[in-house]
C-alpha cells in the first residue's frame, strides 16, 4: 500500500484542502495521512474564518507521521504564515521527504486570503525550492514571477522564469484563462535546451462547480509520483482524474460546489 501525506488546511465544506486531498488519495487506493495547518470555516460560497495551527503543533503532527509511517509522497497546500512554512521546510529536510508536490495556495477563488502577506518571501526561499514540482494557478504564478499572464505565450515565459528562479519543476494551471483547460509543465533541461516544456490540455468542462480543482490535481499528482511514475506521466494521469471528476457534474451547495470523488479511475 502506498502512503501519501497531505499538509494543508481543513475546508469545513469538504470541497478543498485536506478533505479534497484525502478523498483524492483514497480514490487512488492509497493510504492518506494529514498534518493540518489551519482550520477554515468555509463553504461553497466563501471563507468565513481561519484559525492557524500553532507551528509547534504542525511540527508535532509531522514528527508523529514521519517517525511511524513514512510517506511515499507529500502534497502541500495552504501553509498560512512564515512560522508554519519554516516548520514544514525544516521537517521535510529532517526526514528527507521525497516526491513533494507544492500547491502554493494564496487566495481562494472566492477571494479570501489563505496566505499572509508577510509569508511570500519565506514561501519563495524556504519551501518552494524543496518541491519536486510546484503547481501555481495563474494569479499565483503572476505573484511568483512578478508579471501579468494573459495568454499561453505569457504562461511559457512565466514558467521559464519560475523554473529558473526556484530550480524546480513548475506546472502552471490554466484554469483561470478562457478556452481549453491548458496546463504547462516546465522543467530544467540539458543543453542545448535550457527548459523542457509540455502542455497538458483538456476541453473546458461546462461546470461551475470547480471548488477544490487545484487541491485535487496536486494530490493526484502526488499519488502518481508515489506509485513510481515519472513527473510527466503523473501530471497526465492526474489531469485525467480531475477532468473525470468534473465531468460527473455533481451539484452541491449554493455557490461553486465540490467535485465528485466517487468517480472511479478507469
Ligand atoms: N472548467 C474546467 N474544465 C476542465 N478543467 C478545468 C476547468 N477549470 C479548471 N480546470 C483544470 O483544473 C485544474 C486546476 O486549475 P485552476 O482552476 O487553474 O487552479 P486552482 O483551483 O488552484 O485555482 C487545472 O488542471 C485546470 O486546467
Ligand atoms: C483549506 C483550503 N485550502 C485550499 C483552498 C483552495 O483550493 P483550490 O483547489 O486551490 O481552489 P479553489 O477551491 O479556491 O478554486 C481552499 N479554498 N481551502
Cα(207) to ligand 2 centroid in Å equals 17
Q: Is the dihedral of CA 51, 90, 82, 42 positive or negative?
A: negative
Nearest Cα to 9, choosing from 35, 44, 43? Answer: 35
pLDDT at 22 over 70: yes
CA of 213 to the centre of ligand 1 (A): 6
Q: What is the pLDDT of residues 240-259, one digit of tens each?
A: 999 999 999 999 999 999 99
Query: Are residues 185 and 230 in contact, defined by beta-carbon separation less than 8 angstroms?
Result: no
Q: Give the pLDDT of residue 70.
A: 97
Residue 248 CB contacts under 8 Å (≥ 6 apart), including other chains: 259, 260, 262, 263
Measuring from atom 16 of ligand 1, which residue has the nearest CA?
Answer: 175
Would you state the pLDDT for residue 121?
95
Q: pLDDT tens-digit profile of 119-133?
A: 999 999 999 999 999
Ligand 1 atom closest to 109 (CA):
23
- Res 220 pLDDT > 80: yes
Q: How far apart are the C-alpha atoms of 161 and 144, rounded to whole Å?
A: 9
Ligand 2 atom at minimum distance from 47 CA: 17
Do 101 and 74 meet the contact criterion of CB atoms below 8 Å apart? yes
Give the residue numbers marked as catalytic. 173, 210, 212-215
Span 82-105, average pLDDT: 98
d(CA 134, CA 119) in angstroms, rounded, equals 17
| 243 CA → ligand 1 middle, Å | 9
Atom from ligand 2 closest to the CA of residue 217: 9
- Cα angle 234-161-186, degrees, rounded to a multiple of 5: 20
Looking at residue 126, its pLDDT comes to: 97
Ligand 1 touching residue 112 (CB < 6 A): no
| pLDDT at site 50 | 96
Measured CA distances, 196 to 1, 8, 64, 131, 200 (Å): 32, 29, 38, 17, 13
Q: What is the pLDDT of residues 120-166, one digit of tens each?
A: 999 999 999 999 999 999 999 999 999 999 999 999 999 999 999 99
Question: What value, to the nearest 5°, has the Cα angle with vertex 144 and ends 132 and 174?
Answer: 75
ipTM of the complex: 0.97
Which ligand is the nearest neighbour of the Cα of 176? 1
- Measured by CA distance, the residue closest to atom 17 of ligand 2 is 108
pLDDT over 70 for what percent of the chain?
100
Give me the domains of the chain, ranges plus CATH numbers: 3-247 (3.40.1190.20)
> Which atom of ligand 1 lies at the shortest distance from residue 135's CA?
22
Give me the pLDDT at residue 266, please.
Answer: 67
pTM: 0.97
- A 10 A CB-CB count for 115 gives 22
- pLDDT value of position 110: 83
Q: What distance in Å separates the CA atoms of residue 154 and residue 199, rounded to the nearest whole number?
A: 13
pLDDT digits (tens, 9 = 90+) for 183-199: 999 998 877 788 999 99
Q: What is the Cα–Cα distance from 227 to 72, expressed in whole angstroms? A: 8
| DSSP reduced 3-state for 163 | helix
22-59: b (≥16 Cβ within 10 Å) or e: bbbbebbebebbbbbbbbbebbbeebeebebbebeebb
Instruction: Give residue 20 CA to ligand 2 midpoint distance, Å.
Output: 9
State the sign of the Cα–Cα–Cα–Cα dihedral 204, 248, 5, 122.
Answer: positive
Beta carbon of 211 within 6 Å of any ligand 1 atom: no
Q: Has residue 263 got a pLDDT over 90?
A: no
Q: Considering the chain, what is the average pLDDT of its residues? A: 95
User: Is the CB of residue 18 less than 8 Å from the CB of residue 219?
Assistant: no
Residue 228's pLDDT is 98
Cross-strand pairs, 202: 181
Q: Which ligand is nearest to the CA of 34?
A: 2
- For residue 93, pLDDT over 70 is answered with yes
Task: List the grid coordinates of 27.
Answer: 480514490
Cα of 180 to ligand 1 centre, how many Å? 10
Contact indicator for 94, 26 with CB cutoff of 8 Å:
no
Report which bound ligand comes closest to the CA of 247.
1
The number of angstroms, rounded, from the C-alpha of 258 to the middle of its chain's C-alpha atoms is: 16
Say yes or no to pLDDT of 20 above 90.
Answer: yes
The three three-digit cell numbers of residue 32, written as one number: 492518506
The closest residue, in CA terms, to atom 20 on ligand 1 is: 214
- Cβ(105) – ligand 1 distance below 6 Å: no
**Residue tagged 487512488 (cell numbers):** 28
- Contact, 169 vs 163, CB < 8 A? yes
Residues of the chain with pLDDT > 90: what percent?
A: 92
Amino acid at each position: 500500500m502506498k502512503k501519501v501525506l497531505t499538509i494543508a488546511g481543513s475546508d469545513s465544506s469538504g470541497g478543498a484542502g485536506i478533505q479534497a486531498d484525502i478523498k483524492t488519495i483514497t480514490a487512488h487506493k492509497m493510504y492518506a495521512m494529514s498534518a493540518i495547518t489551519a482550520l477554515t470555516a468555509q463553504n461553497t460560497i466563501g471563507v468565513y474564518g481561519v484559525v492557524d495551527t500553532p507551528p509547534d503543533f504542525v511540527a508535532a503532527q509531522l514528527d508523529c507521521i514521519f517517525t511511524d509511517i513514512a510517506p511515499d509522497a507529500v502534497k502541500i497546500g495552504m501553509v498560512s504564515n512564515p512560522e508554519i512554512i519554516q516548520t514544514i521546510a525544516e521537517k521535510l529536510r529532517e526526514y528527507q521527504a521525497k516526491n513533494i508536490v507544492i500547491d502554493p495556495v494564496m487566495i481562494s477563488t472566492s477571494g479570501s486570503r489563505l496566505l499572509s502577506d508577510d509569508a511570500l518571501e519565506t514561501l519563495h526561499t524556504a519551501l518552494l525550492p524543496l518541491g519536486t514540482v510546484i503547481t501555481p494557478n495563474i494569479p499565483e504564478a503572476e505573484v511568483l514571477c512578478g508579471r501579468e499572464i494573459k495568454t499561453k505565450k505569457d504562461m511559457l515565459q512565466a514558467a521559464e522564469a519560475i523554473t529558473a528562479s526556484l530550480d524546480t519543476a513548475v506546472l502552471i494551471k490554466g484554469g483561470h484563462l478562457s478556452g481549453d483547460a491548458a496546463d504547462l509543465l516546465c522543467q530544467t533541461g540539458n543543453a542545448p535546451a535550457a527548459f523542457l516544456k509540455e502542455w497538458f490540455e483538456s476541453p473546458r468542462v461546462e461546470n461551475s462547480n470547480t471548488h477544490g480543482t487545484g487541491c485535487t490535481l496536486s494530490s493526484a499528482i502526488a499519488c502518481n509520483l508515489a506509485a513510481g511514475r515519472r513527473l510527466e506521466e503523473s501530471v497526465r494521469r492526474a489531469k485525467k482524474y480531475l477532468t473525470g471528476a468534473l465531468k460527473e457534474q455533481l451539484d452541491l451547495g449554493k455557490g461553486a460546489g465540490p467535485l465528485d470523488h466517487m468517480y472511479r479511475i478507469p
